[in-house]
Structure 1
Amino acid sequence: MLERATNQPPVNPNVNVKEERPDSMWRETWKVFRKNKLALIGAAIVLFFILLAIFAGVLAPQGINDQNLGIRLRPPSGKYWFGTDDFGRDIFSRILYGARISLRVGFLSVLGSIIAGTFLGIIAGFYGKILDTVISRIFDILLAFPSILLAIAIVVILGPSLNNALIAIATVNVPNFGRIVRSKVLTLKQEEYIMAARSIGMKDSRILFHHILPNSLAPIIVQGTLSIATAILDAAALGFLGMGAQAPHPEWGRMLSDSREYIQDAPWTVIFPGLAIMLTVLGFNLLGDGLRDALDPKMKN
């Protein structure tokens, strides 16, 4: 046995031995995500509308506010793909530019909600005691109101406009992110590596930004994707009620409101803005469901 062991070829220290490394979280997430066909369809829909919004200036055949009463309420045709509205404006061009407005409201309002909700949720979960009680009660009060009614109340106070609608939608969604982050922080701060970091004297700010926050990103991303769909719906609802985007902005909800008198005589004025809202919300919902399945370990198993 000793002789066989002695006859083993020597190990060359200059030879690089490749070790198999486990996939990173994001690579593993992508592997799971791409197997979900509905999630890929949702991502394709979202990407499609984002591209429409970016290249609206190139794709739009007409100006969004070019009026021609001689062609008002024209049905869809080769020249006017989605027909014209009651002012003779090209509906297809207005829907393209409306994608910019709806997506901007969706992304910016959710970004504001994420920043405010994450900040409050981390403070409440990490420091606890009085801060946790006060912040949690604020969340409970905001969640006690139906989201659209609370958004309407905020817009009434601030005044009807697109920017105020964005602020209202962001405010309504803050408790959703705050409660998710708070519950995640309460779990993470009991982990051994957090207790070890505290025992060696690591500052709270370093613990929060280098350990707590990175490990809380998965639920934030999922909730953020789903909240964009809700924000677009809320923006359309506020626009329909005259509390969001004001004329002549081509916001989809506002377009529905302006065309409700022509549902029977010119149904295309309502159908195409409604389809745009439906498809965009559907895309973000499918994408959010796919991300939830890919990022949640329980769903993976």
Structure 2
Amino acid sequence: MKILITGSKGQLSQELQLALAGEGKVLALGHKVLDLAEPMQIRQQVRLLRPDLIINAAAYTAVDPAQDNRDQAFAVNATGPGVLAEEAAALGIPLIHYSTDYVFDGRKREPYNEEDHPAPLSVYGASKLAGEQAIQAVGGQHLILRTSWVYSLHGRNFLLTMQRLLQERDALSVVDDEVGAPTWAGTIAAVTAEMVRKWRTGTGGPSGLYHLTASGETSWYGFACSIAQHLERQGLLRARLEPIQSTDYPTAAQRPLNSRLSCARLQRDWGVELPDWETALHQCLGNTGNFQAIGGHQATQTI
């Protein structure tokens, strides 16, 4: 099987490359080769490579800058995925695409399910919702997997930012009234690989929209506290953590206060197990806290 992955250096793409290495030939294309903002380039690459599966792991993820770069965000997050869906449908192959909790406004008290009405608060959220809709409008085989608070040991994310700041500063304030499920990119990749295997053997569930996050919930402050505990065990913790309200930390883009997603449909239809977010964090950090002091080199495995 030939698997085309958009993006090559992103945190999710790198984990997917590892998880899918045994499933066939994996082709991970960076934006210089396949730019989601360039429809003709997308079509040319897909028609040239003729993959058996397309996985869209690339996205415009700069939430605050997106407020001032609406056209770019929509080109990458909405138009590009729609073109991928058209090309996948023309080849008669599946498309797997990742979306976000930011399609919701966070006002619901319970975890969101797939039937809940989206109401994004930001340009980023609106662009990701438009991408979902573009794929659904094509109507080919697809999986749209909404996730939340993605982190890994690659790229830029909350885990690596906290690792650095907790070693550099004496005190650090972190928002405590936004609640969700931190989700390791390795978990997303492992579940995706399992779904690919089930799809190929005819034992998977139906196409469509699913929520895919770690189980459990916490706030950004709670997530930071867990990261701090790992650092403390290694004698690397410097900062004192303080909880604050989101109103005390204004940002260009508004975030949902409730980012919890119900994954019941995914577990029922596809029979996958989702780890607790703290268990997944331990996995990501190698159970002992895979940190090095600031200034050290942190090795990553790439393909």
Q: Under a length normalisation based on structure 1, what TM-score does the superposition of the two structures give? A: 0.26
From the CA coordinates, give the structure whose radius of gyration is larger: 1
Greater helix share, structure number: 1
Q: Which is bigger in relative contact order (C-alpha 8 A, separation at least 6)?
A: 1
Q: Under a length normalisation based on structure 2, what TM-score does the superposition of the two structures give? A: 0.26
